[in-house]
Homo-oligomer: A and B are copies of this chain.
Amino acid sequence: MSKVHNFSAGPCILPQEVLKQASEAVINFNNLNLSLLEISHRSKDFIEVMENARNLVRELLNVPDNYEVLFLQGGASLGFLTAAYNFMKIDGSAAYLNTGTWANKALKEAKLLGGVLEVASSKDKNYNYIPKNYQIPGNADYLHITTNNTIFGTQLKKTPISRIPIIADMSSDIFSKKINVSDYDLIYAGAQKNMGPAGTTLYIVKKSALGKTGRTIPSMLDLEVHISKDSMFNTPPVYPIYVSMLTLQWLKNNGGVEWIEGINQQKADLLYNEIDNNPLFKGTAEVDSRSNMNATFVLTNDDLKDEFDSMWQAANISGIKGHRDVGGYRASMYNALPLESVQALVDVMKELAKKHS
């Protein structure tokens, strides 16, 4: 069978060689004659996986020594709460940039713990742009941003200039491009886009910023607890962490974040160029806010929907149906999606235009 062009928005495509190794480990891991799924998380073999995964994050993102790297559970959705618990002081407040559904959810959880100011919102245009020129209150405990918005196809191109600490949910664009970790006090990200399968969540946190809220934090939400136990306070999600480690190793072996950033730019350029030049398609996000991870677009003539849908399905393309909040199409081009898959989609778009020119 020829491989599917998998544009799924997440969980999403992973490198073929990672899947092969991941499959083998379920039968016989490290030649132990045991499955990875049935060994103790305290065994030296798994501790090595955890440490490799944490070290690969450090290496790939140039994480400074005063930051800690953790692999926890709960997705970004638990991260929304964890972020607020660890950074919002008792009687404190926080500033949130509202760029869509996930930013809203983060803001909602923070409200349970204190005052939340929405510094700017792009809700007026169904979140199709990243707000600019907003004021960040100097007395808030932190500014929270969502660096990439999967549903609306927008992405922050620059880290905001802020005098207060920045917390970033990078679930859908971490490891897709270079970042400067020291711009942030906390970065968190669900694994299931560029890092691995669903089931683990990465935290990168500045140690000296913790322990200052005056709160008693529940153990599982307390980043200092997890740091003190080397990311093994409780049984970690063994398999998702292992597959994340393999994926990060794949990224490193191929040239790291700098390498993938170039390829991701090529993929985005190829698709957005077609969207802009093909009269049958139109992008939904404002040009300077476009995401390199998720390109959202619609047909200029809805009557062509059935025809276009049949054509891309026939080309073995999968997962480009748009989110219901935007409609149309969404092509997610995460790290493991090859340029050829984008070319396959562009070819179908060109073919449609040719038929109707």
Contacts and interface: CB of A to CB of B under 8 A. Distances in A.
A73 B192 CA distance: 15
Contacts of A236: 198
A132 to B, nearest CB: 30
A15 to B, nearest CB: 10
A255 interface: no
Interface string A36-49: 01111100000000
User: How many copies of this chain are found per oligomer?
Assistant: 2
B238 A199 contact: yes
A333 interface: no
Nearest to A171: B235
A318 B238 contact: no
A197 B283 CA distance: 42
The prevalent SS among residues of A at the interface is loop
Contacts of A75: 73, 234-235
Contacts of A317: none
Given A26-B26, A235-B192, A239-B198, A220 B19 contact: no
Contact of A73 (B12, B19, B78, B233): B78
Q: Which of A1, A3, A219, A319 has the most CB of B within 10 A?
A: A219
Contact of A10 (B32, B40, B108): B40
A22 interface: yes
Nearest to A75: B234
B20 A37 contact: no
Contact of A235 (B10, B40, B112, B220): B10
A202 interface: no
Interface residues of A, number: 63
A41 B73 contact: no
Interface in A97-133: 105, 108-109, 112
A26 B35 CA distance: 14
Given A19-B26, A235-B10, A34 B112 contact: no
Contact of A237 (B105, B112, B199, B234): B199
A238 B11 contact: yes
A153 interface: no
B9 A37 contact: no
A19 B35 contact: yes
Contacts of A221: 81
21 contacts: A1-B33, A2-B33, A9-B40, A11-B39, A14-B37, A19-B35, A20-B27, A23-B26, A23-B27, A26-B26, A34-B318, A78-B220, A81-B218, A81-B220, A108-B219, A109-B218, A109-B220, A198-B235, A198-B237, A199-B200, A239-B239
What 3 pairs across the A-B complex have the smallest Cβ distances?
A199-B237, A23-B26, A77-B234
